Amino acid sequence: MMLLTIKNILEKYVELAPKATIIVGFSGGWDSMCLLHITKKLSEEYGFNLVAAHLNHAWRGEESDDEEANAQRFCAEFDIKFRAERLDEKTKQTEAAAREARYAFFKRTYDYNKASVLLTAHTKTDNAETVLYRIAKGTGLNGLEGIKEYRKQGDMNIVRPLLSFSRKEIEDYCMKNELFPNNDSSNQDTRYARNNIRYNIMPRLKEINPNVETSLINLAEIATGNNKIIDELMNNIEIQISTGNKWHTQNFMRLNSAIRRHFVYNLLLKNDIEPSFSKVQEVMAFIADNNLSKTGKTLSLTSKLTLFTSHKYTYVLNENDTTEKFLQEVSVSGEGVFHFENGENLVIEKYGKTVDFYPKKTAKFIFVDLSNMTFPLVLRTRRDGDIIQPLGMQGKMKLKKYFINKNIPGYQRDKILLLCHNNEVLWVAGVGMSEKLRVNEIATHRIELNTEI
C-alpha cells in the first residue's frame, strides 16, 4: 500500500528510469528511514540513482555524531550513496536557521548529482501540526493549505510522498521491516514550538476531537480549493500591476489593503519564507513607507534574500544581486581592448567622422571626442570623492547625487563600470556620459563595453 502510493506520487513528477537521480533528505529518523527504505525498493525496480543527504546539525555533540554514523551504516547496508555535511558552528540554533541551512545543503547535493527531484519525509501528522502552528502564529488562507505535495524552490523540484500517512503508520512500517531509526532527543524538547504543539497541544485537542489530525487536513484541503478561486482572480490583477517578477510600486499601492496583503503573502511563500501575520505586516509597512523613494530602499528577508522598493518597482533580490563592488582598476592607455574582472571588455577604437545618430544614454556604447583627453584613463567602479560633469551641464556634481538624479538603486551602484580620469567620471556605462566627451563636429572614437564570450 505505502510503496504503491509513493510510486504513484513519484511518477507524477519524475520519470522513474536509470537516467534519473533522486535525493532523499535523510536524518535517520523514523520518517526519513521509512521513505528511504521504500525509495530504495523502487530504485531496484526502475534502476534510477538514489542518494541520501544527511546534515549533521552538531547541536547535541556525541549524539549528533552517533546519528550520522547510524545513518551512514544504514546506507552502507542497503548500498545507498550517502552524502553528509556538518552544520557550520556559527549557525544560529533556531528552527528557522536550521531549516535554511538544511535546504541549502540539499540544494548543493541536488546540483552536484544533477538530480531530478528531492524527497522529504513530511507526513500527514507533520502537515496537521504545520496548519495548527500557522494558525497560532497568525496566517491567511494560503497558510492554511499546509505542506504541499510538490513545490519548486529555484530550479529544485521538491516532493513529499508521505503526506497521506500518519506518524503511527510510518512507525509500524519501520518495526515490521526491522529498521532501527535514530531517536533525536531534541524532538522531545518542548521549547521548540513544533514539539510543544506535538506533545502538549495536540493531545489536548484530541480530547475534544479524537480525529483532530484529519480535521486539520480537511481544513487544509478546503483552503486549497478556495485559494485556487482567489488565485485565478489575483493572477488577472497581478498582470496589470507587474512586469516579470517586478511589481509597479504605485500600481501596487493603489490596490486595497486586503489584496496587497494577499500578494505579499504569496511573495513570501514563493521565496520559502514563513508568512506569519507579523512578517506580512512588516513587508507591507516597508513598501508603504518607501514607495516614494527615488533610489529605493532594501529590507532583509533572509540571509540571502532582500526586498527592494522604489517609487517605480518592488521586487526580491537574491545574494548574487547584492554582491560587493569590484576592487580592480584597469589602466586605459589609449586605443585597444581592456579586460575587466567581471568578464566585460572596454573597447576604444578610432572613428574620425560625423555621427549619423547617437545611442540612448542606457546603451553600452558611445561616440566621443578624445582630442583633448590626457591618458591614461582608468576603468573601475565608484570610489569616495568621485565627481562628474553631466552632458549638457556647466558645473560638476558628486557621483552619488548623479546616481540619485538618474534613479539608480543603491544596490546597483557598486557594480556599474566607470571610465575615469583621476576622480572625475567621464562615462557611467549604460547610464550617461560627461560633458568632457561631447562631440561637437567629429567623433574621434567609439567606446563600447561588451561581454567577453
Q: Please tell me the predicted confidence (pLDDT) of residue 324.
A: 52
pLDDT in tens, 285-328: 999 999 998 878 889 898 788 899 988 899 998 866 655 567 78
The pLDDT value given to residue 453: 41
Per-state percent for the chain, helix, strand, coil, to nearest 5: 40, 20, 35
Higher-pLDDT residue of 64, 158: 158
Which tens digit of pLDDT belongs to each residue from 197-239? Answer: 988 999 999 999 999 999 999 999 999 999 889 888 988 999 9
Check residues 95 and 298 and name the one with the higher pLDDT: 298
Mean pLDDT for the stretch of residues 398-403: 92
* CATH homologous superfamily, domain 2-212: HUPs (3.40.50.620)
Residue 190 sits at φ, ψ, to 5 deg, of -80, 5
Alpha helix stretches (DSSP H) within 395-445: 399-405, 410-413
Hey, do 2-212 and 244-322 end up sharing a CATH topology, with the first three levels equal?
Answer: no
User: Per-residue pLDDT averaged across 10-26, rounded?
Assistant: 94
Q: How confident is the model at residue 414 (pLDDT cuts 50, 70, 90)?
A: confident
- Specify the CATH number of the domain 244-322: 3.30.465.60
Q: Show Cβ contacts of residue 77 under 8 Å, excluding neighbours closer than 6 positions.
A: none
Judge whether residue 115 has pLDDT over 50.
yes
Give how far Cα 413 sits from Cα of 292, 342, 387, 406, Å. Answer: 19, 15, 14, 11
Q: List the domain boundaries for the chain.
A: 2-212, 244-322, 330-451
178-195 residue pLDDT tens:
998 987 776 777 777 888
Q: What is the pLDDT of residue 321?
A: 63
Average pLDDT, the chain: 90
Helix and strand numbers, DSSP H then E, in the chain: 14, 22
Band (pLDDT 50/70/90 cuts) for residue 424 is very high
What is the CATH T-level fold of the domain 330-451, as seen in this structure? Answer: Phenylalanyl-tRNA Synthetase; Chain B, domain 3 (3.50.40)
Q: 451: which strand partners?
A: 344
Residue 147 has a CB neighbour count (10 Å cut-off) of 18
* Peptide bond between residue 376 and the one before it cis (omega within 30 degrees of 0): yes
Q: Cβ contacts of residue 83 below 8 Å, gap of 6+?
A: 51, 52, 53, 54, 109, 112
**pLDDT tens digits, 344-387:** 889 999 999 998 888 888 888 999 999 989 999 999 999 989 99
